[in-house]
Structure 1
Amino acid sequence: MSCVFCEIVAGDAPAIRVYEDDAHLAFLDIRPMVRGHTLVIPKAHSVDMTDTPAQTLAGMMAIGQRVALAARASGLHADGSNLVINDGKAAFQTVFHIHLHVAPRRRGDKLSFAKGVLLRRDPDRERHGRLLREAIEGL
C-alpha cells in the first residue's frame, strides 16, 4: 500500500518543508485549518500510537514545540497553538502514517476543535481509573 507521507519523505511527492532532521520531517498541511498548519512526522513509517516508539513520539512533540514557538516569533503572529495527534480511524485519523498537527492560533480566530462537544460526566470514574492503572501496569 502506498503512503503519501513516505512519498514526501522520499522526495517523490511535493511538500513545503519547514524542518527536517535525520529522524523527522515537518511540512505544511495541504488542507490547512489555519495559516502555518504544520504536520510533524517520523521518517520511518509507523501507523499510529500502537506501533510508534515512545522516543519517536517525544521527538515529534519536541519538534512540534519548535514549530509552535516559531509561529509565535514569525510573521504568523500566533498567540498559541494546538498540538494534536488523531490516533486511529475512530479519532479521525485519515492518513495512516502517524503525524502531529501543529495549528498556530491567534486570539479571536474562528477555529474550534471542540465545537459541538458536550460536557459529559463519568458516573464510574473510579472504575475507569482502575482499568487504566491496571492496563498501564501491564504494558
Structure 2
Amino acid sequence: MQDCIFCKIIAGEIPSQKVYEDEQVLAFLDIDAKAPVHVLIIPKKHVGSVLELGEEDGALTAHIFAVVKKLAEELGVAKDGFRLVTNTGLAAGQTVPHLHFHLLGGRELGWPPG
C-alpha cells in the first residue's frame, strides 16, 4: 500500500534501524521505545491487522513467531521474559494499519497495561 509507513520502511523509502530481515519479515527498533528492548516485527506482505489474517497465512504467522523467539534470544530478553503485543483497531491503540508486533523487554513490565 502506497500510504502505509511500514510498507515504505520495507521498500527502503523511510530509514529504520533493522535488527532482522528475511524474505517474509522485517524487524526494527521502535523510534519511541517503551522499554530497553523495543522492536517492531512486521510481515513484508501488507496485512492490515490480525483480523485480515486467513488460513492461507498460517506459514507466515508461524514464521513471525519463530522470528520473535530468535530475536528474544539474541536480544537477551528470553531468559527473564518479555512482552509481545499487537494492537488491533483504533480503540486498542493501533496507529499504523499494518500488522505488527511489539517485542518489549529488558525491564519489569507492569500489569495491567494501558
| TM bucket normalised to smaller | 0.7 to 0.9
Larger-Rg structure? 1
Give the structure 2 partner of residue 3 of structure 1.
4
Q: Provide the C-alpha distance between the structure 1 equivalents of 2:33 and 2:104, rounded to a whole number of angstroms.
A: 8
1:5–1:115 distance in 2 versus 1, CA, 3 Å: closer
Query: What is the CA deviation profile of residues 23-52 of structure 1, one whole-angstrom value per residue up to 9, with x for unaligned ones?
Result: 100000111111220010000111011222
Give the structure 2 partner of residue 69 of structure 1.
73
- Kindly provide the amino acid, as one letter, of the partner of residue 13 in structure 1: I
- Kindly provide the amino acid, as one letter, of the partner of residue 10 in structure 1: A
> Are 1:96 and 2:97 an aligned pair?
yes
Q: Provide the C-alpha distance between the structure 2 equivalents of 1:61 and 1:86, rounded to a whole number of angstroms.
A: 16
Structure 1 contact 78–105 (Cα < 8 Å) conserved: no
Identity fraction in percent: 39
- Give secondary structure in 1 for the equivalent of 2:37: coil
- Displacement of 1:113 after TM fit? 4.7
TM-score (normalised: structure 2): 0.84
Give the structure 2 partner of residue 59 of structure 1.
63
Q: RCO greater where, 1 or 2, for CA within 8 Å and sep 6 or more?
A: 2
Give the structure 2 partner of residue 122 of structure 1.
none
| Count of aligned residue pairs for this structure pair | 110
Query: What is the CA deviation profile of residues 104-130 of structure 1, one whole-angstrom value per residue up to 9, with x for unaligned ones?
Result: 133xx4x425157xxxxxxxxxxxxxx
TM-score (normalised: structure 1): 0.70
> Are 1:17 and 2:15 an aligned pair?
no
Q: Provide the C-alpha distance between the structure 1 equivalents of 2:38 and 2:111, rounded to a whole number of angstroms.
A: 14
Give the structure 2 partner of residue 131 of structure 1.
none
Runs of at least 5 residues in structure 1 that lack an aligned partner in the other structure: 117-139
Query: What is the CA deviation profile of residues 59-95 of structure 1, one whole-angstrom value per residue up to 9, with x for unaligned ones?
Result: 211111111111227xxx9721101111222321111
Q: Provide the C-alpha distance between the structure 1 equivalents of 2:28 and 2:7, rounded to a whole number of angstroms.
A: 13
Runs of at least 5 residues in structure 2 that lack an aligned partner in the other structure: none
